[in-house]
Amino acid sequence: MRLEDLNEKELLRRPEDNKHNVDDGAYSGRIVQAELVERDSQYTEDGKRVVLNFKVELDSDGDHVTLYHPVNYTWSKRGKMIHLLDKIGCLPQPGESLDFDNITNTPVQIIVENVEKDGEVYSNIVSMKKDANTTTKAVTRKPKKKTVSPLRKKSIKKEAVTSQQATSHLFDENDDELEEDISIDLEDDDIDLDDI
């Protein structure tokens, strides 16, 4: 926004209500943004915590309402983040990175509960899962590109050559001699454990 834009009277007027609330209940919507955000915390030494913040847009009585759903950033199996990513179908495989592009535009079903704090009413998302009934853009995981180190490529090539040589030696038509299969019959009395 530029200063000259503020000269319009409507822009100078303070909005009556900056917040959007919806009634308690279930809604369909879509995730329009996911990002990592730093928040204040009384439970950490440095007073900060990182959250994965979901911006969810839903349609309530013809109005587009935007709600936010933050969860602590942690890959702990007991943490809410890993369970939520699984519910919306965006949990990366072990070793893969979190892909915000896959999360964006994911259709979701949410449950909203309103709470009052300091005289203000807030609509909070208490549950969210992928909406399987919506026909919007499907979330697809990009296949992980497998990379092979140059040393491993050399090793694989050497193994292939050795295998090919061994195979051709076994089935070489010009080789009239067959190696004998050597087997040794031992009786129980002939076995000496010190020789093993």
∠ CA 171-152-162, rounded to 5°: 15
Q: Do the domain assignments include residue 12?
A: yes
Answer yes or no: is 119 within a domain.
yes
**Who has greater pLDDT, 70 or 183?**
70
Domain range for 103 is: 3-130
In a domain, 17, yes or no: yes
pLDDT by residue (tens digit) across 142-157? 444 555 556 666 666 6
Residue 26 inside a domain? The answer is yes
Q: Assess if residue 166 is contained within a domain.
A: no
Examine residue 192 and state whether it is found in any structural domain, yes or no.
no
- pLDDT tens-digit map of 15-42: 555 567 889 999 999 999 999 999 988 8
pLDDT in tens, 63-116: 788 999 999 999 999 999 999 999 999 999 999 999 999 999 999 999 999 998
CA–CA separation, 61 and 118 (whole Å): 27
- Rounded CA-CA distance 105/141 in Å is 13
Calculate the dihedral angle through the C-alpha atoms of 87, 90, 95, 96, rounding to the nearest 10 degrees: 180
Q: Is 60 exceeded by the pLDDT of residue 180?
A: no
- Spatial distance between the Cα atoms of 91 and 84, rounded to a whole number of angstroms: 8
pLDDT interval class at 195 (50, 70, 90): low
- For 58, residues 6+ apart whose C-beta sits below 8 A from its C-beta are 22, 27, 28, 29, 30, 64, 65, 66, 67, 110
180 domain residue, yes or no: no
Domain total in the chain:
1
| 48, pLDDT greater than 70 | yes
Mean pLDDT value across the chain: 76
Return the biggest CA–CA distance within the chain: 110
